[in-house]
Structures are given as structure tokens and as C-alpha cells.
């Protein structure tokens, strides 16, 4: 079976809505430098292979790795690009894990880089290019384009998420105030995190509820920003990680599961997910990853979780679907402070995707942040010792889920 | 932000940097030739022209898809059994959009729903009747199909969905509250 893989380090660049002081390769090299600064014993020459990825067509440069080889330090080294939409970062991290665990001769240390510079291009054009084939198919089946644009007008990610939000609110009987509470939780945490984008230390629930609707039930104040940002993670073998880092973080379980699409079916067909907040893919991926990591009671064994939640309803939904809380109790946990930084199970102390969203990088920032919390090097560090943590990613038409479970000790039960 | 951004990295690549400039650029997107399969759509659209609704049932897992799916997502086989569907439906999920009307400049609130036709196991995105008040929409709201005046054998034959009386027990509880 594969080798035990460790995360030796993780790095970020500073996120902002417009990083006009740097271009894309410079932005990437910032995060790589931050990542390598945390492991002073090695340099760029010690890295054996590279994995990178971003959301295609968002920057108007469709093969960015082509121009970026020099800036990543990947010259004359194996380089691979992985891109799976919203979960790109999660898939890149998993590809980095696979590259190490495969045990190829000479490939021990792999640098995974996920990036996005959204200010450079038009996100809505990028998203339209994903679904345009389907839209034109419906068009040729008889729905006029003008009506289609109205149907899908809620616009890409926020549109599909608002359907999900309606369903989740109906299922668990929550109000908009409960959604706003999650936003406040995230933005307050982001204020303490050096690389976060939307830092709002004085935000209140009323402020969020004052903003207009974008599409019901999501308001302007609840929605994630569009950031420029990069995340880098250094994967290596157990032996090397012990030399590099004080506390090597063992990757004990990974999973990436795709379900049927929701909202929009293929070739004009009906969509297979009746309830977009059901998320069988998330349940299945948590089953797989917890099984590999030997976790039987996620609520008790996991000390910290980073979930992918551009919209507040998703944060509540994911923590339930990933088995951290019972069904329909997540709201309660946000009310009574269980998920706060000094609570029993802190969630998204980095501010989450709700405060910082560089799409391609977001899903990797989750496991990266979860790893840094174990190492004790996170921007907004949990005061309690974190032993086991969880990084989650989501994307696609509400149907892709990636998961990475990490711990400070190796789990060899499954080998 | 950009000026204030502390640059603490890049020593090993680039010691000094000049401010990066923004170059405006634009390019035409090509026209594309997407392919789609109509073997499953053709009988469906022919029935629509007669004013009938049919779904395609997977013979392995018995899931019915409407509009028909070429491949069953559960079983990876081709569904081949046509079943008749009723004209009623329920809202599976919905959202409200806030769009500017170009003629008047007013913001129009409009519910857009994902509906589940009774007797099938998939959802389809559609519009509700214009007279439905957007505040009244809810998950599980019963609907009935409103046919277009001239049936042409295309998806636009389903003009929109009308609301019908809700007789479920759920509704009685709702009113009591």
C-alpha cells in the first residue's frame, strides 16, 4: 500500500479584491515563498515535483502553468495541472498526496499550488463557459435564450446556492438571522487572520440583514467576495517531514466524490438531485475519508474543521453532512458558541470562504489552514491543542466534494 | 491596499520590482458547435406536441426522469421504459430573483422554481405563473401545468405552472401558526 504522507508546510499570499501590485506569476511566487519560509531547512531545489491548478478561463489565460514554470521554480521538474472547478484546490491537494503516496523513485517532496487572480478577468464569463453547452442545448429544445437567462439569472454559483439555501432553511426551520450569525462569526474570525480578504471586526447581525437581497434568501452581506489569492502546500514523506517541521501533519484520509448534478441536467434532462441540501456526495466522501483515517466518532475525534462555505447556509449544511453535528442542530451550535475559536469544536477560524474566496485556491486553503492549526502556525490560532482536523472542498453543480483528514499522529489501522 | 501590501517574500526570485501595470485587452470568443443527443428527447417532444407528459424509467432502479435522461446516474444503463406522468407537480426548491426591467427600470421580484413533476424523480427548472405572489411560494407547493396556446413539440409548450389548492395536512398546521 502507499506511503504515509505528511504536510510539512503551507503558505498563503495576502488576499485582496484587486492585487494590482503583482501579476499572476508574482502572486504565485509570494505564496511559495511563504510556504518555504516555514521550512527553513529546505529550498526550492529540494522539491521534486509540482502540482498546480486554477479554475480555467477565469483569468483569460487558459494555460497559466505555461508561463509560471520559472516563478514556481519548477524548471526541469515534473509538473502537472489539475482543475475541477470549485474543488480545484482540493483536487490539487489530493493530487499532491497521490504523487507522494505512490512512492515513485526520486519523488518524495511535492509542492502543490492553487491560485486565482479574479481581478484579471471576468468570473461570470468563466462560469458561463462551463455551462454554455447545456444552456444552448435547452435553447435548441425550445426555451428562448431570454427566458433562459432569466431562469439562470440568479447567476452561476450564487444562483444554485440560493436553491440550496431555500431547501436547507425549509429542512431545519432556520431564519435569515441564523444565516447572518454565521456570516458574523466568519468575518470576525477573518479580522484576526493576516491573509483574509473581508476583515470586519465590528460587523453585527443587523448590518448583514440591512443589505438587499441578491437572490432570496441570500443577501449581499452574506455572499463571499471575489479575491486574488494563492495557496501552496508542501507534501512529503514521513521521514523527511520529521526533519523539516517541528510538528509534521500526517494526512490520514482523502476522498473526492462526485454525485449527480442538481438544478441543471445534462442534454436538457431533469436533474437527479431532488434536494440540493441532501448532499449524498458529502456523506459518502466523509465515510471514505473517516474510514481511511480510522475515525468512528467524528464529533468527538475531530478538533477543528475547515469547511468550504461561500454562503452561510452551506456552512451549516456541511458541518451536519460531514458528521460533525447531528442533523438540524448546527444553528444551535453557532448560537451557544460551540464553534467559536475557544469552543468545543472550532469551525472556520480563518474566516472561511465566506471572507476570502480566490476560487481556485479556496478549496486548498481549507486543508492548508487545517494543517497549520495542528502545527500551531495558523493566522488565527485555536488556543486549544488541535490533534485532528478536517479540510473540505465543494464545487461543480452542487455535486463535487473533496475531503482531507489530518492528524498529528499517523493512523495505520487501514494498512 | 496595493501600496500598503507588505511584500515580505520573493527575495530568491526578484529583489526589486516596479509596480505592475494593468493592460486592458479584449478578445472575441469563438462560436462553438456543441453536440447533444436527441434519441431520448424525440419521443418526449412528440408526446408534448399531443399535450401528454411522459417520463423515462430506468428498468433497473425504477427511477423516472422528466425530461428524459439518456443514462441512469445510478445504474449506468439506458432507461427504456416510457411512463405517463400527471399534470401536477410540486416545488422542489425555489429562489427569488431581483432583476431590473429594462423598459421601466424597476426591480422585478420573480420566483423561479425547480419543480418535481408528480411521478418522477428528477427536477426541472421553470417559471411560475405571473399572478403568484412571490411571498407565497414555498417548498412543496402544489402546481399544475399551464400549456402554451399552440403546441409545437418543444420545451416551451410548458408555458409555466399554475398554483392549485393545497390540501396537505402540513398546510393546516401552517395556518394555525
Q: Decide which of A209 and A62 is more confident.
A: A209
Q: Is residue B32 part of a domain?
A: no
- Contact assignment for B41 to A141 by CB distance below 8 Å: yes
- Looking at chain A, the whole-number percentage of residues with pLDDT higher than 70 is 96
Q: Is residue A361 part of a domain?
A: yes
Q: Is residue A131 part of a domain?
A: no
Q: Decide which of B166 and A408 is more confident.
A: A408
Instruction: Name residue A6's beta-bridge partners.
Output: A236, A250
Mind listing the pLDDT tens digit for each residue in A110-162?
999 999 988 888 777 777 777 777 778 888 887 777 777 766 654 556 677 88
Supply the pLDDT for residue A94.
95
Question: Is the pLDDT confidence value at A242 over 90?
Answer: yes
Averaged over B89-109, what is the pLDDT? 83
Sheet holding B81-84, edge to edge: B64-65, B54-57, B81-84
Q: Decide which of A415 and B101 is more confident.
A: B101
Question: Is the pLDDT confidence value at A377 over 80?
Answer: yes
Q: Are A230 and A13 in contact (CB under 8 A)?
A: yes
DSSP H helices in A223-301: 238-244, 280-293, 298-301
Question: Is the pLDDT confidence value at A414 over 70?
Answer: no
- Contact assignment for A273 to B123 by CB distance below 8 Å: yes
The mean predicted confidence, pLDDT, of chain A is: 89
CB atoms within 10 A of CB B125: 23
The number of C-beta contacts closer than 8 angstroms across A and B is 181
Per-residue buried b or exposed e for B45-82, using 16+ beta carbons within 10 Å of the residue's own CB: bebbeeeebbbbbbeeeebbbbbbbbbbbeeeeebeee
Where does residue A328 rank: exposed (0-12), middle (13-18), buried (19+ CB within 10 A)?
Answer: middle
Q: Which of A30-44, A327-341, B13-27 has the lowest mean pLDDT?
A: B13-27
Q: Is residue A346 part of a domain?
A: yes
Question: Is the pLDDT confidence value at B175 over 80?
Answer: no
Q: Is residue A195 part of a domain?
A: no
pTM reported for the whole predicted model: 0.89
Chain B residues with CB-CB distance to A137 below 8 A: 34, 36
CATH of the domain at A109: 3.40.47.10
Question: Is the pLDDT confidence value at A307 over 70?
Answer: yes
- Contact assignment for B96 to A170 by CB distance below 8 Å: no
Query: Nearest residue on chain B to A276, judged by CA atoms?
Result: B93
Query: Which residues, 6 or more positions from A100, have their beta carbon under 8 angstroms from its beta carbon?
Result: A3, A5, A107, A108, A109, A110, A235, A236, A237
Nearest to B2 among A19, A132, A142 (CB): A19
Supply the pLDDT for residue A287.
93
Which A residues, 267 through 306, put their C-beta within 8 Å of a C-beta on chain B?
A: 267-276
What does each C-alpha distance from B128 to A41, B33, B112, B150 come to in angstroms?
63, 32, 7, 19
Nearest to B139 among A19, A133, A167 (CB): A167
Chain B residues with CB-CB distance to A43 below 8 A: 12
B155 secondary structure, DSSP code: G
Averaged over A255-270, what is the pLDDT? 84
Where does residue A384 rank: exposed (0-12), middle (13-18), buried (19+ CB within 10 A)?
Answer: middle
Question: Is the pLDDT confidence value at A297 over 50?
Answer: yes
Which B residues, 36 through 95, put their C-beta within 8 Å of a C-beta on chain A?
A: 36-37, 40-41, 45, 65-70, 73, 92-95
Where does residue B31 rank: exposed (0-12), middle (13-18), buried (19+ CB within 10 A)?
Answer: exposed
Nearest to A23 among B7, B20, B157 (CB): B20
Mind listing the pLDDT tens digit for each residue in A60-88?
777 888 888 888 888 899 999 998 888 99
Q: Are B102 and B81 in contact (CB under 8 A)?
A: no
Helix (H) or strand (E) holding A90: helix A88-101
Which residue of B72, B125, B161 is the best one to mutate when testing the A interface, meaning the one whose CB has the most A CBs within 10 A? Answer: B125
- Contact assignment for B156 to A269 by CB distance below 8 Å: no
Q: Is residue B1 part of a domain?
A: no
Chain B residues with CB-CB distance to A263 below 8 A: 114, 123, 125
Q: Are A358 and A228 in contact (CB under 8 A)?
A: yes
Residues in chain B: 177
Supply the pLDDT for residue B7.
45
Angstrom distance (rounded) from CA A229 to CA B163? 47
- Contact assignment for B41 to A273 by CB distance below 8 Å: no
What does each C-alpha distance from A336 to A181, A185, A294, A312, A339 come to in angstroms?
11, 12, 29, 17, 8
What does each C-alpha distance from A94 to A98, A256, A370, A378, A402 come to in angstroms?
6, 8, 14, 21, 8
Residue A379, Cα to own-chain centre: how many angstroms?
17
Number of domains in chain A: 1
Pairing of strands A304-306, A388-395: parallel
- Contact assignment for A143 to B156 by CB distance below 8 Å: yes
Query: Nearest residue on chain A to B68, judged by CA atoms?
Result: A269
Task: Tell whether A228 is within 8 A of chain B (Cβ).
Answer: no
B28 secondary structure, DSSP code: P
Q: Decide which of A412 and A290 is more confident.
A: A290
Nearest to A142 among B5, B126, B152 (CB): B152
Q: How confident is residue B9, by pLDDT bands cut at 50, 70 and 90?
A: very low
Averaged over A39-43, what is the pLDDT? 91
Task: Tell whether A153 is within 8 A of chain B (Cβ).
Answer: yes
Q: Is residue A206 part of a domain?
A: no
The mean predicted confidence, pLDDT, of chain B is: 80
Question: Is the pLDDT confidence value at A256 over 70?
Answer: yes
Question: Is the pLDDT confidence value at A27 over 80?
Answer: yes
Averaged over A322-342, what is the pLDDT? 93
DSSP string, A177-202: HHHHHHHHHHHHHHTT-TT-S---TT
Task: Tell whether A264 is within 8 A of chain B (Cβ).
Answer: yes
Q: Is residue A139 part of a domain?
A: no
Q: Is residue B47 part of a domain?
A: yes
Supply the pLDDT for residue B10.
45
Chain A residues with CB-CB distance to B96 below 8 A: 213, 215-216
Mind listing the pLDDT tens digit for each residue in B29-80?
778 888 888 888 889 999 999 999 999 999 999 999 988 988 888 889 999 8
Q: How confident is residue A21, by pLDDT bands cut at 50, 70 and 90?
A: confident
Q: Which of A20-34, A116-130, A316-330 has the lowest mean pLDDT?
A: A116-130
Averaged over A310-339, what is the pLDDT? 93
Q: Which of A157-171, A206-220, B116-130 has the lowest mean pLDDT?
A: A157-171
Mind listing the pLDDT tens digit for each residue in B55-65?
999 999 999 99
Q: Which of A176-190, A380-394, B127-141 has the lowest mean pLDDT?
A: B127-141
Number of domains in chain B: 1
- Contact assignment for B27 to A133 by CB distance below 8 Å: no
Q: Is residue B6 part of a domain?
A: no
Query: Nearest residue on chain B to A129, judged by CA atoms?
Result: B29
| Residue B58 to chain A, least CA–CA distance (Å) | 13
Nearest to A21 among B2, B73, B112 (CB): B2
Q: How confident is residue A259, by pLDDT bands cut at 50, 70 and 90?
A: confident
Q: Is residue B46 part of a domain?
A: yes
Task: Tell whether A263 is within 8 A of chain B (Cβ).
Answer: yes
Question: Is the pLDDT confidence value at A59 over 90?
Answer: no
Q: Is residue B4 part of a domain?
A: no
Residue A56 belongs to domain spanning: 5-121+225-407
Angstrom distance (rounded) from CA A23 to CA B19? 10
Residue B135 belongs to domain spanning: 41-176
Averaged over A337-360, what is the pLDDT? 92
Q: How confident is residue B12, by pLDDT bands cut at 50, 70 and 90?
A: very low
Supply the pLDDT for residue A413.
55
| Residue B131 to chain A, least CA–CA distance (Å) | 17
Where on the phi/psi map is residue B10: left (φ > 0), alpha (ψ -120 to 50), or beta? left
Amino acid at each position: 500500500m502507499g506511503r504515509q504522507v505528511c504536510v510539512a508546510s503551507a503558505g498563503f499570499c495576502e488576499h485582496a479584491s484587486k492585487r494590482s501590485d503583482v501579476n499572476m506569476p508574482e502572486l504565485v511566487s509570494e505564496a511559495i515563498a511563504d510556504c518555504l519560509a516555514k521550512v527553513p531547512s529546505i529550498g526550492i531545489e529540494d522539491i521534486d515535483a509540482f502540482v498546480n491548478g486554477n479554475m480555467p478561463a477565469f483569468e483569460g489565460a487558459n494555460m497559466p502553468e505555461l508561463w509560471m514554470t520559472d516563478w514556481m521554480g519548477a524548471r526541469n521538474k515534473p509538473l502537472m495541472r489539475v482543475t475541477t472547478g470549485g474543488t480545484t484546490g482540493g483536487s490539487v491537494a489530493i493530487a499532491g498526496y497521490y504523487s507522494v503516496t505512490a512512492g515513485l523513485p526520486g519523488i518524495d517532496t511535492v509542492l502543490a499550488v492553487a491560485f486565482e487572480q479574479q481581478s484579471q478577468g471576468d468570473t461570470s464569463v468563466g462560469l458561463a463557459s462551463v455551462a454554455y453547452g447545456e444552456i444552448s442545448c435547452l435553447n435548441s429544445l425550445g426555451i428562448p435564450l431570454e427566458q433562459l437567462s432569466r431562469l439562470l439569472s440568479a447567476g452561476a454559483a450564487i444562483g444554485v446556492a440560493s436553491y440550496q439555501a431555500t431547501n436547507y432553511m425549509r429542512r431545519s426551520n432556520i431564519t435569515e438571522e441564523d444565516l447572518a450569525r454565521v456570516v458574523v462569526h466568519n468575518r470576525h474570525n477573518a479580522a484576526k487572520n493576516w491573509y483574509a480578504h473581508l476583515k470586519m471586526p465590528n460587523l453585527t447581525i443587523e448590518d448583514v440583514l440591512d443589505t438587499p437581497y441578491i437572490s432570496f434568501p441570500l443577501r449581499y452581506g452574506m455572499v463571499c467576495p471575489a479575491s486574488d489569492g494563492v495557496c501552496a502546500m508542501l507534501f512529503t514523506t514521513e521521514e523527511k517531514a520529521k526533519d523539516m517541521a517541528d510538528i509534521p501533519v500526517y494526512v490520514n484520509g482523502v476522498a473526492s466524490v462526485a454525485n449527480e448534478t442538481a438544478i441543471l441536467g445534462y442534454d436538457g434532462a431533469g436533474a437527479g438531485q431532488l434536494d440540493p441540501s441532501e448532499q449524498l456526495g458529502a456523506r459518502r466522501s466523509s465515510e471514505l475519508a473517516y474510514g481511511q483515517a480510522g475515525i468512528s466518532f467524528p464529533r468527538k475525534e475531530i478538533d477543528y474543521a475547515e469547511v468550504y462555505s461561500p454562503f452561510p447556509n452551506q456552512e451549516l449544511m456541511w458541518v451536519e453532512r460531514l458528521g460533525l453535528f447531528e442533523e438540524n442542530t448546527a444553528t444551535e451550535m453557532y448560537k451557544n458558541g460551540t464553534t467559536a475559536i475557544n469552543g468545543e469544536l472550532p469551525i472556520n477560524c480563518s474566516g472561511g470562504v465566506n471572507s476570502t474566496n480566490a476560487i481556485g485556491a479556496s478549496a486548498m486553503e481549507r486543508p492548508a489552514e487545517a494543517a497549520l492549526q495542528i502545527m500551531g502556525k495558523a493566522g488565527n490560532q485555536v488556543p486549544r491543542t488541535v490533534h485532528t482536523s478536517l479540510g473540505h472542498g465543494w464545487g461543480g453543480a452542487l455535486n463535487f466534494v473533496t475531503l482531507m483528514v489530518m492528524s498529528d499522529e499517523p493512523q495505520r489501522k487501514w494498512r | 491596499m496595493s501600496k500598503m501590501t507588505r511584500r515580505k517574500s520573493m527575495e530568491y526570485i526578484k529583489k526589486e520590482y516596479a509596480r505592475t501595470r494593468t493592460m486592458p485587452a479584449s478578445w472575441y470568443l469563438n462560436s462553438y458547435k456543441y453536440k447533444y443527443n436527441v434519441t431520448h428527447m424525440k419521443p418526449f417532444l412528440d408526446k408534448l406536441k399531443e399535450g401528454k407528459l411522459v417520463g423515462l424509467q430506468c428498468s433497473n432502479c425504477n427511477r423516472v426522469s422528466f425530461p428524459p435522461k439518456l443514462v441512469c446516474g445510478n445504474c449506468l444503463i439506458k432507461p427504456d421504459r416510457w411512463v405517463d406522468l400527471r399534470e401536477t407537480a410540486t416545488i422542489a426548491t425555489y429562489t427569488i430573483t431581483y432583476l431590473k426591467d429594462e423598459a421601466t427600470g424597476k426591480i422585478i421580484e420573480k420566483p423561479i422554481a425547480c419543480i418535481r413533476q408528480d411521478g418522477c424523480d428528477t427536477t426541472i427548472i421553470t417559471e411560475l405563473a405571473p399572478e403568484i405572489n412571490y411571498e407565497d411560494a414555498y417548498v412543496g407547493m402544489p402546481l399544475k401545468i399551464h400549456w402554451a396556446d399552440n403546441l409545437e413539440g418543444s420545451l416551451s409548450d410548458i408555458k409555466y405552472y399554475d398554483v392549485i389548492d393545497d390540501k396537505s395536512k402540513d398546510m393546516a398546521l401552517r395556518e394555525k401558526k
